[in-house]
Structure 1
């Protein structure tokens, strides 16, 4: 059985209700009546109509005020309101819309106008309700997908760890040089996969606000030097000229050291990966005098990032087209951006000259501690 639309008519004069009832009765609507604000809110607490016809001027109640209060309550906000007013000045009509009403009808009411505006508003309400149902359904599907993805990631971690352990055991046996190379290749791939799985899990926690930061006073210069040392072998293998400008720290930063180290590793690895063989990468820590901040600049000599990608490149799974032949996962930069955002900092990208990109990480002043001299 199809439910008929429900309309609440609010007017202090019973005669007006009788007129509107006569106009709308044959339309098959469920009509309800309230004579003041108290009766309106009492009705709404137990039943939500599909439409409210609300008189602007009533002796004991201000229709504008009733409309504002209804629109301030989330559960009632979506109920469309048509104001009925004898004041047809542009100022009054503007006030109706500012109060939250969707439409208005002038007095004396016209049968054709009332029916047309009521039908139009109920049609819009149905469309709104259908869209809201679709949104809620999509939201549930997205949550289900995230839950399934997280479950899969958790299940994948164990076999990846087993692969790594198996590779360690194989290195203890008598392997030929070629076999040893393959085992090392498998071990490195397993390590990379484990790193990506950990990043996915951490990103999911950051998105759902489940990840709790463990901030500590950190010397960013020392931390960055540790990261640079870790990449020496990788830069030698690719013949990358890596320069590091890391002055003595003038400030400590209040950050989660483990997460911040992973951010620096991702940014440096990204720069090395996208720079050509015999290219250069530079990394610099800056302690601006004019601001109580700390900045890290990572420059590469790759093909750069197109202007249209400079915003979307920080989104999950956005890999762009930066350098052909380079394996890209679309997670590293998104991970960095989420961690920096969680620390109330900023991560941006600009063009390097004559070619390449510059990623700049900046931590806000409220997260800093001045080092005692």
Structure 2
């Protein structure tokens, strides 16, 4: 994945804080900045400047040097020593144009100097350049954070692949060992039984790898859906059939004759993931799957009697590897199953979410247009059905 760093425009308006103890100077500089379409705040000293920055981050500070109590150099040092404001451009304004003061300003961390009497055009150009530098720094910082998140996802995926593939591969090894023993003993029934088990495990591995590839394609919108006209009951049955065998909880399906134009295979896989997720947390209690007809939209609901999903996790759980944490929101093994479901819903122009059902349990739902449409104007995740 490429991380793009957007370059700021030449005349990007910004937020400017003007700090000067002389009101006439403050107003003159403030008026100059407002003429350049900047958002301006004024402060008459260090304390009011810091107060003005509470909940409001300027792009540049124009700071007078000669002020009572805390002068501009002292305030500049304070700002540059704080990691939260260290990257904030500070332009010192002074009536003294001597080398010693400039050296002191540089030592304090000042980014530029403006000598009084100020030239409005020069002030505007220096502020413009400072804002552009700040915006570029912010863009690079965001890109760096994106790269760190991508590295974390890469590490999580590597961990997931090793963890989830190791067990099936070990099972295949045991089956092959049993097949060899059966061959040596001439026991064809044992060979057939273990070969069947091997085939089942390799099918599971193939599906896991397919899910990883399909998620990547769905994320890149490089996997077009293949909609056809189907009865929702048939699609639900396809999905439930994938997980019914070996299920420790009963699965009941409630669906009337509802015809949709969906990608049958993709939606059935998504339903299978949601039902499998419900089975893991139902504690042996029934899992219910139903279809709700909302006219232009059709909603698939999967209810379980598990511990539910905390409200603060109801969006994160659908993100890639969102289940890798601990606790009651760890709803699927690979961290890709629910993420896959989200993209299937989006590919059909729909949405997905989870809500709590009383007294305990969770309801996972996918709501999609009866006729599959482009997801351009639809949101993907929510906490309650629309």
Q: Same fold (TM over 0.5)?
A: yes
Q: Report the counterpart of residue 81 of structure 2 in structure 1.
A: none
Secondary structure at the residue paired with 2:363? strand
Q: Report the counterpart of residue 344 of structure 1 in structure 2.
A: 349
**1:246 paired residue among 247, 255, 263:** 255
Mark the runs of 5 or more structure 2 residues left unpaired by the alignment: 1-5, 14-27, 40-58, 61-115, 374-386
Gap change, CA 1:174 and 1:326, over 3 Å in 2 = farther
Give me the TM-score of the superposition, normalised by structure 2: 0.55
Matches within 5 A, 1:6-25: none
**1:281 paired residue among 287, 300, 309:** 287
Q: What is the CA–CA distance in structure 2 between the aligned matches of 1:341 and 1:327, rounded to whole Å?
A: 20
Q: Report the counterpart of residue 25 of structure 1 in structure 2.
A: none
Mark the runs of 5 or more structure 1 residues left unpaired by the alignment: 1-74, 83-87, 104-108, 369-373
Secondary structure at the residue paired with 1:367? coil
Q: What is the CA–CA distance in structure 1 between the aligned matches of 2:160 and 2:12, rounded to whole Å?
A: 49
Conserved? CA contact 1:271–1:281, under 8 Å = yes
Q: Report the counterpart of residue 209 of structure 1 in structure 2.
A: 221
Matches within 5 A, 1:209-358: 209-235=221-247, 238=248, 240-247=249-256, 249-251=257-259, 253-276=260-283, 278-288=284-294, 291-319=295-323, 320-323=325-328, 328-358=333-363
Conserved? CA contact 1:227–1:265, under 8 Å = yes
Q: What is the CA–CA distance in structure 1 between the aligned matches of 2:32 and 2:135, rounded to whole Å?
A: 27
Give the length in aligned residue pairs.
276
Q: What is the CA–CA distance in structure 2 between the aligned matches of 1:159 and 1:300, rounded to whole Å?
A: 29
What is the CA deviation profile of residues 55-113 of structure 1, one whole-angstrom value per residue up to 9, with x for unaligned ones? xxxxxxxxxxxxxxxxxxxx98621368xxxxx9x9998785299xx99xxxxx95265
Q: Report the counterpart of residue 200 of structure 1 in structure 2.
A: 212
Give me the TM-score of the superposition, normalised by structure 1: 0.57
Q: Report the counterpart of residue 363 of structure 1 in structure 2.
A: 368
Matches within 5 A, 1:75-86: 78-80=9-11
**Is the deviation greater in 216-225 or in 188-197?**
188-197
Conserved? CA contact 1:167–1:183, under 8 Å = no
Conserved? CA contact 1:316–1:330, under 8 Å = yes
Conserved? CA contact 1:203–1:335, under 8 Å = yes
